[in-house]
Amino acid sequence: MADIETIIKELAEPIVDELEIDFMGVVLGGGKETKLVRVVVDKKGGVGVEALRRLSKGLSLQLDAEDLIPGKFNLEISSPGFDWPLTRDKDFIRYEGDWLRVSFEDGRPVLEGENLGLNDDGDLRMHVSKGKLKGERTIKLEETSKVIRTVNWSKVSGGKTSGEGKQKQKRGRSNAKKRS
């Protein structure tokens, strides 16, 4: 018999396909009394609230009918956060143009840069903006330990580093004695 995550994925797939969104995974958790079933979905440009609502309603009905999860459970449908790892080719395609943070199995320094997509060999193409490795780089995914999306703080701040662009104001005190 298939594990619960696989069954939930199989139940969700027809709905996800109809809504034209990508199924990314299932995370099971919760306590003794109430279980948590978190289904993660996304698409290029993000998933709308209506699609999340429809998936929640449809999957909830199926999970109740299948009686798959013993006892009480809460179903949570969400999009992935920045910390959700990119593991499949379609993840890299979906987030092409986004800023990535790449960690390596062998302990090499972490790289950050723009996702330029995958090449024909399935390697990640990335534009690194800082450091010794600045420029376009090709990274073999099997050498990575984790690839996640992150924020390009330089772009967000308009290219300014901390403290740049702020005028220092001097608030001096007069050494002159007050005259009465």
Could you give the percent of the chain with pLDDT greater than 90?
70
- Answer yes or no: is pLDDT of 58 > 80: yes
Mean pLDDT in the chain?
87
- Position 159 scores a pLDDT of 65
Phi and psi dihedrals of 160, rounded to 5? -90, 145
pLDDT of residue 160: 58
SS3 call for 127: strand
Residues 27, 40: contact at Cβ < 8 Å? yes
Band (156; pLDDT cuts 50, 70, 90): confident
Question: What residues does each domain of the chain span?
Answer: 4-78, 89-156
Looking at residues 60-71, what average pLDDT do you find?
Answer: 90
pTM here is 0.75
**Superfamily the domain 89-156 falls into:** Ribosome maturation factor RimP, C-terminal domain (2.30.30.180)
Q: List the alpha helices (DSSP H) in 47-98.
A: 49-66, 89-94
Q: Give the homologous superfamily in CATH for domain 4-78.
A: RimP-like superfamily, N-terminal (3.30.300.70)
pLDDT per position as a tens digit, 106-140: 999 999 999 999 999 999 999 998 888 899 999 99
- 103 pLDDT higher than 90: yes
Assess contact for 106 and 153: CB atoms under 8 A.
no
Instruction: For residue 69, give the nearest of 16, 5, 15 by alpha carbon.
Output: 5
At residue 165, does pLDDT exceed 80? no
Other beta carbons within 10 angstroms of residue 168's beta carbon come to: 5
pLDDT of residue 89: 94
pLDDT digits (tens, 9 = 90+) for 15-41: 999 999 999 999 999 888 899 999 999
Task: From 68, 22, 66, select the one nearest 41 (Cα to Cα).
Answer: 22
Q: Which residues contact 139 (CB under 8 A, 6 or more apart)?
A: 102, 111, 123, 124, 125, 126
CB contact set of 58 (below 8 Å; sequence gap of 6+): 15
**Contact, 26 vs 9, CB < 8 A?**
yes
CA-CA distance, 82 to 160, in Å (whole number)? 23
Our measurement of the distance from residue 47's CA atom to the centroid of its chain's CA atoms, rounded to an integer in Å, reads: 13
